Structure 1
Amino acid sequence: METQVVAESQTTALGTKPHYAILDGLRGVAALTVVIFHLCEAHATSHLDQLINHGYLAVDFFFLLSGFVIGYAYDDRWHKLTVKDFFKARLVRLQPMVVLGMIVGAVCFYFQDSALWPTIHEVPVWKMLLVMAIGFTLIPVPISMDIRGWQEMHPLDGPGWSLFFEYIANILYALGVRKFSNTALSVLVVLAGAALIHYAVTSATGDVIGGWSLDATQLRIGFTRMMFPFFAGLLLSRVATLGYVKNAFLWCSLLLLLVLAFPRVGGAENLWLNGLYDSLSIILAFPLIVWMGASGKIAGAGAARLCKFFGDISYPIYITHYPLIYIYTGWVSNHKTPLQQAWPVALLTFVAAVVLAYVCLKFYDEPIRRWLKRKVLAKP
């Protein structure tokens, strides 16, 4: 969630540009939807009966949003920006919460109590701490070091996989793609879009879900999910002529929620139809939503505060909520509780995720980033 979740519309050392406040708010809408999607996932028997069925596409929305705002923030500044400065700015923005997310994940792993997961008695503390330390760097761990059993490249905090690909996208942008002409970038986007459609409609599951394991199949999914939306967002930031969309935050939020909550398409008999839905949502709907959001204006102090709050917590909630999901999933597994009965605990977990994110933001992320900006980004 930058993933994609985090994308900045300003740079400290080079001056500032206005925020796209509505895009900040949409980031929060998507991040909160991800939390609900993961809570419902604990009760699903397959992708076919999952509530908030396409919530996983929020990651692809984050990638596109990130590419758009990275282009807006940095594309016209490379005459006075070094690659080193760019990487330092991105590390300051992303890395503090990565570290805290892994710590939260380790604490929850240590105290988890469910037959669904290995216990701390089965996984040595030193191994958990080693996985946590590696997680601080976002370097994926091999499947042989998976201490949870889900084959995640970051077993203590699953969403770290998308941050890993966010970093790759940023590296590709800074080292080469930023120099592409609009024509060359368009060719890259078209090829990436074709690869996305091909994978989505031919995948064994009929969707684009995946990307979180360090094996050939999952790495292919991760790169396929990252390449089109991130660089399509970058291209959109370069070529789009913004208009004026009235009540843009409302309409964009409703359209985004419609895409993410839309029921499964095609059923088990026509998996390719859902893959087509996924790919067209990423290729057509998400750029439209971002364009509409960038074309809108916030009307009223209340809407401005809401968008700011949503934007502020979007990254912290994305990177810290999943350890709570592990606990909730384990509880559901222990008690075999259907959602109709488990909803009070699900609601409590959702509220806890929001509160945890806000506390992390105010008492850790913002102070740490202010300190790092003074120490790392400030020009002498």
Structure 2
Amino acid sequence: MLSNQLNAKPHYQILDGLRGVAALIVVTFHICEAHATSKFDMMINHGYLAVDFFFLLSGYVIGYAYDDRWGKLTIGGFFRRRLARLQPMVIVGMVIGAICFYYSDSPLWPNIHTVPVWKLLIVMLVGFTLIPVPASWDIRGWQEMHPLDGPGWSLYFEYIANILYALGVRKLPKGALWALVLASAALLVHYLLTGPNGDVIGGWTPNLEHTRIGFTRMLFPFFGGLLLSRITRPAYIKNAFLWCTIILVIVLAIPRIGGPDNVWTNGLYESLVIILIFPLIVYMGASGQIHSAKGKQLSKFLGDLSYPLYITHYPFIYVYTGWVSRDKGMGFGHALPYALLTFVVSVSVAYAALKWYDEPVRAWLKRRAVKA
């Protein structure tokens, strides 16, 4: 019944494509990260900021898609729609993570001979819910709230953002939303300029420090994106997909700014990227159009692939990182064929999960909603 009442709005094709570009950069960043000796020599150095870009995109799209629908849409209906969109792939990510953990072996984490299978299965089942795993159940020992599929932490905060939006923030007048966004921006800048690391890396450990980082990373981008959807109207920008992609790749790949003695300079850079450049990219993307059939196909492919790729690729990164760790002196050139294999496997598995699982499951859930 609900689906009949809510006619789907057209997608911003370029924003879909940019989400896919960011997901591909995340995979590349994580592969390269296995060869870094510290945060100061990582390749694709700011690739982790793609998560903050995802938060901003999500806030923008949520505002565009739902702000004018609350006369017909209930809170329960909103949550059901978000669960149907996000949760099926969470389950797949955890299953793949459990399989990779069972069959992989590395000095970086305990193997299946020291972790009972029943414990692995319980961690997987808890992971299906995105409830953080307590430290005593961290079977990998990397201090992750989801040790089988690390990126689950950002989905955890995505759900919190959705809950906050549905229960109250959606009702805020423009002035109050401005105040929330400005306060969140101040919180973000304060952390980046005064914190010990000069970056927003973190959010995945179930403790107070990482909980603070997680909320700091989520609040401004998500609600800043929501505000952007309310105060701007797309214009027309020629070749927007190309320009947005170039800017996004540059800001995520740029080397670390400064060194250990002046980490605040990198924090200043990340503040500018998250608060100014990411909103600009989203506005430009919303203001562009794709006219060619091939361009539309590429954008749709990237958009469809983005979420499955993000939530399923990291178990293969565990395997790759474990393999690299066996040879401490291994250069990236020597590992390149295996790095490319990891990239191809990650994309292939994500696409298979999309076509053979995610799309059929969401179609089935939609049919059930129509009958309800």
- Is TM more than 0.5 here? yes
Q: Which residue, 339, 345, 352 being the options, matches 2:338?
A: 345
Q: Which residue, 347, 362, 372 being the options, matches 1:369?
A: 362
| Match status 1:196 vs 2:192 | no
| Match status 1:100 vs 2:89 | no
1:96, 1:257 → 2: CA distance?
29
Match of 1:176 in 2: 168
Moved over 6 A (4+): none
Q: Which residue, 118, 125, 149 being the options, matches 2:141?
A: 149
Match of 2:71 in 1: 79
| Match status 1:20 vs 2:12 | yes
The structural deviation recorded for 1:145 is: 1.0
The structural deviation recorded for 1:292 is: 0.0
Match of 1:123 in 2: 115
The structural deviation recorded for 1:379 is: 5.3
The structural deviation recorded for 1:338 is: 1.5
Please give the per-residue CA displacement for 1:32-68, whole angstroms capped at 9, x wherever unaligned.
0000000010000111000000000000000000000
The structural deviation recorded for 1:179 is: 0.1
Match of 2:248 in 1: 256
Across the aligned residues of Structure 1 and Structure 2, the Cα RMSD in angstroms comes to 1.1
Query: TM-score, normalization: structure 2?
Result: 0.98
Q: 1:59 to 1:13 in 2, by over 3 A?
A: farther
Contact 1:83 1:174 in 2 (8 A): yes
The structural deviation recorded for 1:269 is: 2.1
| Match status 1:333 vs 2:310 | no
Q: Which runs of 5+ in 1 are unaligned?
A: 1-10
Residue identity opposite 1:213 in structure 2: T
| Match status 1:210 vs 2:210 | no
Contact 1:23 1:290 in 2 (8 A): yes
Contact 1:13 1:378 in 2 (8 A): no
Contact 2:14 2:285 in 1 (8 A): yes
2:371, 2:172 → 1: CA distance?
28
Contact 2:28 2:343 in 1 (8 A): yes
Residue identity opposite 1:58 in structure 2: A
Please give the per-residue CA displacement for 1:92-136, whole angstroms capped at 9, x wherever unaligned.
000000001000000000001211121001111111101100000
Residue identity opposite 1:367 in structure 2: P
1:16, 1:368 → 2: CA distance?
18
Identity in percent: 67
Query: TM-score, normalization: structure 1?
Result: 0.96
The structural deviation recorded for 1:242 is: 1.5
The structural deviation recorded for 1:299 is: 2.0
Instruction: Give the match's secondary structure for 1:47.
Output: coil
Instruction: Give the match's secondary structure for 2:214.
Output: helix
Q: Which residue, 306, 314, 320 being the options, matches 2:312?
A: 320
Residue identity opposite 2:352 in structure 1: V
Residue identity opposite 1:360 in structure 2: A
Contact 2:5 2:72 in 1 (8 A): no
Q: Which runs of 5+ in 2 are unaligned?
A: none
Following superposition of structure 1 onto structure 2, how do residues 45-56 of structure 1 map, counting pairs within 5 Å?
Answer: 45-56=37-48
2:346, 2:273 → 1: CA distance?
27
Match of 1:5 in 2: none
Instruction: Give the match's secondary structure for 2:301.
Output: helix
2:271, 2:232 → 1: CA distance?
21
1:301, 1:242 → 2: CA distance?
22
